[in-house]
Every structure is written in C-alpha cells, then in structure tokens.
Amino acid sequence: MHLSYSKVRSILTFVSLLCVLPFSVSAEQPTIQATLTIAPQVPPPISRSTPARVVVNFEAHEFIGELSYGKQYTYWGFNHSVPGPMIRVRQHDTVEFHLKNHKDNKFPHNIDLHAVNGPGGGAGVNMVVPGQKSVFSFKVLNPGLFIYHCASPMPNIPAHIANGMYGLILVEPANGLPKVDQEYYVLQSEFFTKPSSQEDLLELSMEKGLAEHPDYVVFNGKDGALTGDGALKATAGETVRIYFGNIGPNSISSFHIIGEIFDTVYVEGALDGLVNRNVQTTVVPSAGTTIVEFKVDIPGDYLLVDHSIFRVAKGAVGFLSVTGKGNPEIFQSIQRP
C-alpha cells in the first residue's frame, strides 16, 4: 500500500500527540478542598508529595461576639470567626480562593494574603460588596507562615484589620515539616473600643487606634480565649509547635512562654530560612509571624504572654496545660515556706 507524504505526515502527527497526551494529563494538578480550622486548631500536615489546586472558601461576616467578660463587640471577620480560619497548603500549590461577602453586611470586603506574589496580595481583584462573590488564583512560591487580612479602603483599611479580619496561611516546604506531637494556632491582636448606642456593646474607636492606645491586647480574638477549657494542652515528653502571628495593628509582640525555652524558632515565620535555637523571647512585628517548637518536660500550667508585660492586664495571656509524669532531675521543689 502506497501512502502519500501528506498521509504519512498526518499519521506521524497523530502518533506524536498520543505520545504527548498521557504526560500532559498526568501533569495536571488534582483539585482538592482546603481543610480550614478555627484557632487554636491547626489543619493536619500535608502528606502528598506533589502540588495540587487547593480550593479555599471564605465568607466575610459582620457580627456581634464576646470580646471580654460581659462585653460584646461588633466584629468583622472571615467565616464568622476572629481570627479567621487557618489555611495550610504546600509550596508550589495553586490556591483557588473564593470570597463571599454576606448579604447582610454593610461594607465591601476583600483579602490581602501575604503569601501572594502579585499586586495587593490579591486584594485588588477580589473586592466584593454585600451579596457578591469573587474568585482568583495564585501559586504559592515561598514556604513560610504568612498573615492575611482585609484591605478594603471603605471606610478604611485599619478599620477592617482592627475589627478582626485577619488570620494565618501556612505554606509548607515541598519536603514538609518535621513531625511534632502537638500543633497550635495563636494570633495576637489589639482592640480599640468605645461604647456604642447599645448597652454593653463596644465598637471601634478610630481615635484610640490613631493614638495607638489599645484597651485590649488578646490572643485568638478575645480576652481569655486560651484559658479554662480553651487552654492549649500537651503531655510531658511531647514536642509542641505553635504557629504564632501578630496582626497588631500597631504594636510589636514579645512572645514568651513562662517556664519554657523555645528549642527552635523559625525567625519571622520563614521556612527554609534563618533558624534560632534556645530562645527565651522572640520578637514578632506587626503583620508578622513566628513558628516556635519546644519539648515540655514537666507537668503544670505554663503562661503564654506578650512580655511587654503590662499587656497581660489587657488580655495578652493564655495557658498551656501539661499533664503527665514529673522529672525531678529537671525540676523539683526542695523546700517551700
């Protein structure tokens, strides 16, 4: 059978497409739904070894919640929580971010993720008015622990941050993180308040914000969030990792745990970057993060504080409750009055 040159060329082209097609299909990233958690819980470590397209669903809410004992506050937050959910992805993943603005809200909202390489951290392409939705995508290039926050200019960016629209996104390195026994999500923030027209309901004071005089400095969105049933928990002998952020919006945090020394500190939340060892207190700038790891040796209650110590009286205190067997070689009481 004689085949013309044109037919041979067509057959070769078809065969070449068949050879290429399987590789193209296998290289396509799978699409998965992100596991989102509310502080102090952390999404599970990522077990996959290849990138994926990770779908993240957020909704902006304006709601009333407890700021301190007997005091309510008009929060703005994501997914009806302050801080917003923690996001965990892998380096080289593509994030498909869906942002809704609840129909009952009064203000337009957006999100600026510090993990984004692009104008405005994405904020310029995802502004939504009440009742609307936006979708955008970005590839996570740099591993680390990053802040996200609303950056809507209406009425102004500081108001959205001060009212509670912030959280953390963790970008694991491609080769993952060392295994630990416990992981927790803690975010420090300031609230500047004044009475509203409703009894026992507080709202934002822009005057106090401009003067940088917060009434409350808290962990995880409210006074006492990490006390009582909300205390972090571990067992003696376990290694704990805390993903810690400080949104400010103004002050630097001096993060410290009374009775513990950080065995490992990933400075400024950078992974595959600078690591410090045997650290007592670590400085976290406004809109910055850190990751600390430490082994707990002795049972008891350990205080998480901002060691700018007067802030403890404003709410910057929490507990890590450690149970288990003691070790007198490391710590013991010999004589008490």
Return the CATH number at 47.
2.60.40.420
Quote helix, strand, coil % in the chain, to nearest 5: 15, 45, 40
The answer to whether residue 12 is domain-embedded is: no
Based on the domain organization, do 215 and 164 belong to the same domain? no
Between strands 239-248 and 288-295, the pairing is: antiparallel
Q: Is residue 222 part of a domain?
A: yes
CB atoms within 10 A of CB 113: 24
Residue where one domain finishes, among candidates 138, 172, 206: 172
Same domain as 168, residue 116: yes
DSSP secondary structure string for all residues of 276-295:
EEEESEEEE-TTEEEEEEEE
Of 122, 147, 172, the position where a domain reaches its end is 172
C-alpha angle with apex 177: 173 to 180, nearest 5 degrees? 160
Domain count, the chain: 2
| Residue 229: inside a domain | yes
283 CB neighbour count, 10 Å cutoff: 14
Contact 249, 166 (CB under 8 A): no
Kindly report the length of the chain.
337
Rounded Cα distance, 98 and 138, in Å: 12
Query: 189 and 145: one domain?
Result: no
Residue 9 in any domain: the answer is: no
Where among 172, 194, 221 does a domain terminate? Answer: 172
How many angstroms separate the CA atoms of 252 and 220, rounded? 16
My answer on whether 158 and 50 are in the same domain is: yes
Nearest-10 Cα torsion for 37, 105, 153, 88:
10
Query: Is residue 11 in some structural domain?
Result: no
> Residue 200's pLDDT is what?
87
pTM exceeding the 0.75 threshold for the entire prediction: yes
For residues 127 and 186, state if they share a domain: no
Residues 124 and 190 in one domain: no
The DSSP code sequence of 45-99 is: PP--SS--EEEEEEEEEEEEEEEETTEEEEEEEETTBSS--BEEEETT-EEEEEE
Instruction: Answer yes or no: do 125 and 202 share one domain.
Output: no
Task: Answer yes or no: are the C-beta atoms of 139 and 93 closer than 8 Å.
Answer: yes
What the block records as the tokens of 241 is 């990792």
Residues 238 and 167 in one domain: no
Mean pLDDT by 10 residues, the chain (337 residues): 43 36 54 98 96 98 96 97 98 98 98 97 97 98 98 97 98 96 98 93 98 98 98 98 98 98 98 96 98 98 98 98 96 93
| Full residue range of the structural domain in which residue 205 is found | 182-323
Sheet holding 232-235, edge to edge: 232-235, 317-323, 300-306, 253-258, 281-284
For residues 69 and 87, membership in a common domain is answered with: yes
Residues 139 and 190 in one domain: no
Pairing of strands 94-101, 53-68: parallel
What Å distances lie between residue 129 and 132, 140, 234, CA to CA?
A: 6, 27, 43
Claim to verify: residue 187 and residue 276 sit in the same structural domain: yes
Per-residue confidence (pLDDT) for residue 17, from 0 to 100: 37
In a domain, residue 246? The reply is yes
Q: Is residue 278 part of a domain?
A: yes
- Clarify whether residues 106 and 74 are in a common domain: yes
Per-residue pLDDT at 27: 56
The answer to the question of residue 219 being in a domain is: yes
